[in-house]
Chain A
Amino acid sequence: MLFNSSDFLIFFTVVFFLYWFVFNKTIKIQNLFILLVSYFFYGWWNWRFLGLLMLSTLIDYSFGFAIEKGTHTKRKFFLVLGLINNLLVLGIFKYYNFFIAETQHLGGLMGFHIHPYFLSIALPVGISFYTFHGMSYVIDIYRGNFKPVKSFVDYAVFVCFFPLLVAGPIERATHLVPQVTTPRKFNYAQGVQGLRLVLWGLFKKMVIADSLASIVDKIFANYHQYSGSTLFLGAFYFTIQIYCDFSGYSDIAIGTAKLLGFELLSNFRYPYYSKSISEFWKRWHISLSTWFNDYLFNPIVFALRKWAKWGIAFAVIITFLISGLWHGASRHYIAWGLWYGIALAYEALTRSQRKKIFKKLPLKLADFISWACTFLYVCIGYILFRSSTLHIAFDYMHCLTHNLFTTPELKSFLLIYVLPFIVLDWYFRKSERVLHLPNNIFIKYSFYTIMFYAILYHSNDNSSFIYFQF
């Protein structure tokens, strides 16, 4: 069930009224209701994978207690088991075919002809997200940051809460579980903010991202036919498209949760205004980057603390290689991860030198150069992300160098969609998650009306969200 579908509109309207008016007697009933509708929401896509979701939830829930009650060795043992459980689910459904194909390819290069068995199963939606919920839960308990959740229903709501089930934000038990276990009351301001975020998210997804998608698909599918300038524009359009698509999804998820009395973690903080790659990753897919930071990067840095700067550089490259792989079982995603790993390692190793150089420049010029370089690097990186194979990505980059300084084709989209969006995004940049509007009823209602009609005007194509495939 897509957030941008009429199915979801009907589903959520019914859930909203039942949640606040029928199942509002006790917190237990309310949570049980949320869990059931979350399963319904997930099952709407493919009910056969519901069993996997339930089993995975149950195992992590049980390991939480086993870790808490166990002795030092047993704690470690159950932690490893808990991690293996989640990684195994991910490994089978998401990475098995990829690694088998790579092994086959490698074997072929060395003269061994292997005929392995490939699985023909669909990738369960949201698997990368709910397994990460499970892993963070068992790690936090092992580290002593969190006590196991007593009620299975409460824990299952943390893992399966429908607004974040398929594409995040990746929540932490420390943040969400207390909200699950505390009675919730409807808050007017929170409700209004929630609705505004839903509207803004739908606008970003349906008006901007989906409109740009058609042109991006066209450029990437026929990149040989376009000049370098048009290919650059294609990469730029995709940069805007993916931001509107994913941050639009996150806004709808956060807004929907707000309407049910929950506050989810932020996922985006205007990333394209970043002045360095490290800043970009503090603003882009925040819930994922902080997850990797807490559970992968920091432990590696700690283990390699004797290497000082080089330890950080190594850790960041490893972390982003895995982050690339998390996005998809394909070489171009790994290359995309490496693209950022290298940039971040470079930033970590040259921080002091760069500071010295920038000190000599006027502040605004230094800021502008930093922003432009970062944005350009992000744009080029998205060629790796968007292309269907690594070979195509490199070929696209190669074609990009031809006739780069000519007038690009297909630039009308800039005026119609991109520039108005940038103006709005710039206006809202200080109010992520809240979306402040001037306190004037005419402006507010005009804003709602324009958004509403723009969404309706673009409601012909209910395309899926890019991050649903992960």
Chain B
Amino acid sequence: MKKFLFRLFNLLVILFIVSAILQLIISIRIKNKTLFGSDNLYTVKDQKNDIVFLGSSRCYCTYDPRFFRDSLGIKSVNLGIEGHQDIAIHMIRLEYYLKYNPPPKLVLISFDPFMNAGSFNVQKEFTRKDYFSRYAFLPNDQDKAIVEYFHFNFIEKYVPLYALLKYNLLLKSVSVYKKTQWETIGFAENNHRWDTIANPYSYAGALKSYNAFTEYYDSIKTKLQSLNNLCKQNNIKLICVEMPVYKGIYNKDAFDVTKKMCDESGIILINTNENYIIDNPENFADQFHLNSNGVPLTMNVIIKDKNFITALKN
């Protein structure tokens, strides 16, 4: 038994050492770099931006910083994280930004009845968990919040290389030299048009979100107010923007609930669901996301909004 345990221990030590060395090499290689685009927690540093965009994929593939630069001559950065409607992660993302960058004038969060506050549909298998698994091993104080948000387990946090292997980041870290779309143009542009025959719109999924938003109204409002407080502490004006959805799933009553919440919280809301945008499927990549046709139309609505102009001037 002694011999068996001794040899087993030796093997485990060897595996541990090899893993630790590989973990170290990979960590150095990908430090301050983004592998996918939205895992850009440490990539955005020492930037003086006027606007920071937050939100889910509806933010990540819509806010085009080039548009704001060309139209208004202002600097902005899109920090959307696709697949995440929970306000908590966007607040964490903003905290990262504020730690390494001066506060912007405005924060525009894509906020609509598809958002939540982690209060319903608690996910165990998070979308894009793999993107953030690079932060799982031995998280520093800053990374603890995001590691907790994604529910990384004990082994993922304390066994070297485990999270990187489990979430298939090993090969990705080798190809880190390839620039992501986010690095090149500042957001994830959808260049394709919506194939409405292969993927027709479905109201059922949207309805589920609308109902959940009403059901968890109070907790979402609390989270939104926390985000607003964080902005206020840093002299930032928070603006909520309802991004366009295809008319087949657009429900005015549901979107009015968002407006009510913003009004009650004293936050400006811009609704970009103009008929000329949402009626035309040519503006969409799918029922929730705009494509390169719809993006400039929507950006135009934002920059022409009186509240936006006033907030930017102040």
Contact = CB atoms under 8 A, between A and B. Distances in A.
A457 B1 contact: no
A445 B14 contact: yes
B282 to A, nearest CB: 27
A78 to B, nearest CB: 44
Contact of B4 (A6, A188, A459): A188
Nearest to A195: B8
A457 B3 contact: no
Given A6-B155, A192-B4, A452 B170 contact: no
A456 B14 contact: no
Interface string A191-234: 11001000000000000000000000000000000000000000
Contacts of B7: 192
Contacts of B18: 449
Interface in A419-470: 445, 448-449, 452-453, 456-457, 459-460
B4 A460 contact: no
Given A188-B4, A456-B161, A449 B166 contact: no
Main secondary structure of the interface of B (DSSP, over half): helix
B25 interface: no
Nearest to B130: A460
Given A6-B155, A192-B4, A448 B165 contact: no
A459 B1 contact: no
A448 B161 CA distance: 16
A20 interface: yes
A307 interface: no
A188 B5 CA distance: 9
A6 B1 CA distance: 24
A459 B15 contact: no
A186 interface: yes
Given A456-B165, A460-B166, A460-B168, A191 B14 contact: no
Nearest to A453: B165
Contacts of B168: 457, 460
Interface residues of B, number: 18
Contacts of B153: 6
Contacts of B309: none
Contacts of B1: 20, 186, 188, 191
A460 B167 contact: yes
A6 B158 CA distance: 14
B139 to A, nearest CB: 19
A26 B167 CA distance: 45
B14 A459 contact: no
Nearest to A190: B4
Nearest to B4: A191
Given A186-B4, A188-B4, A192-B4, A449 B165 contact: no
Interface residues of A, number: 16
Contacts, number: 37
B11 interface: yes
Nearest to B3: A188
Contacts of B217: none
Nearest to B15: A452
A459 B8 contact: no
Contacts of B8: 195
Interface string B12-23: 001100100000
Nearest to B153: A6
Nearest to A259: B4
B152 interface: no
B162 interface: yes
B168 to A, nearest CB: 7
Contacts of A192: 4, 7
A188 B8 CA distance: 11
Given A6-B155, A449-B15, A457 B170 contact: yes
B162 A456 contact: yes
A449 B4 contact: no
Given A457-B168, A460-B168, A448 B4 contact: no
A191 B8 CA distance: 10
B166 A457 contact: yes
Contacts of A448: 11, 15
Contacts of B15: 448-449, 452
Contacts of B11: 445, 448
Contacts of A457: 165-166, 168, 170
B166 A459 contact: yes
Interface in A1-24: 6, 20
Nearest to A17: B5
Contacts of B170: 457
A195 B153 CA distance: 25
Contacts of A188: 1, 3-4
Interface string B291-303: 0000000000000
A195 B4 CA distance: 10
A192 B3 CA distance: 10
Nearest to A454: B165
Contact of B14 (A186, A195, A449): A449
Given A195-B8, A445-B11, A448-B11, A459 B3 contact: no
A443 to B, nearest CB: 14
A186 B2 CA distance: 10
A248 B131 CA distance: 31
A457 B162 CA distance: 8
A275 B162 CA distance: 42
Contacts of A195: 8
B117 to A, nearest CB: 27
Nearest to B1: A186
Interface of A: 6, 20, 186, 188, 191-192, 195, 445, 448-449, 452-453, 456-457, 459-460
The 5 residue pairs across chains A and B that have the minimum distance between CB atoms: A456-B165, A457-B165, A186-B1, A191-B4, A459-B166
19 contacts: A6-B153, A20-B1, A188-B1, A191-B4, A192-B4, A192-B7, A445-B11, A445-B14, A448-B11, A449-B15, A453-B165, A456-B162, A457-B165, A457-B166, A459-B162, A459-B165, A460-B166, A460-B167, A460-B168
Given A192-B7, A453-B165, A457-B168, 10 more contacts: A6-B153, A6-B155, A188-B1, A195-B8, A445-B14, A448-B11, A449-B15, A459-B162, A459-B165, A460-B166
